[in-house]
Amino acid sequence: MKSIVAYRMVNFALTMCLLLVFNGKVLAHGAGDEQIVREKSGPYYVTVWSTSDAGSGDLHFTVAVGDLQENPVLDASVVIKVTPFGSEKAVITQEATTKESANKFRYETDFSSMQTGIYSITLVVSGAAGDGSISFDMEHSYEQYSSSWYMLALLSLIVLGLFGFLLRRKTILNVSTIVH
Mean pLDDT, to the nearest integer, of 85-107? 84
CATH number of 33-140: 2.60.40.2480
Task: Identify the residue with better confidence: 16 or 167.
Answer: 167
- Average pLDDT score, the chain: 80
**Which residues is 110 bridged to in the sheet?**
60
State residue 117's pLDDT score. Answer: 84
CA distance to 60, 95, 97, 121, per residue, from 28 (Å): 10, 20, 17, 21
**Domain residue limits, the chain:** 2-23+146-179, 33-140
Rounded-to-integer distance, Cα 156 and Cα 19, Å: 13
Residue 77: closest CA among 59, 95, 51, 54: 95
Give dist(CA 131, CA 172) in Å, integer. 68
What are the pLDDT digits (tens) for 19-75?
A: 655 544 444 445 678 899 999 999 999 999 998 876 677 888 999 999 999 899 999
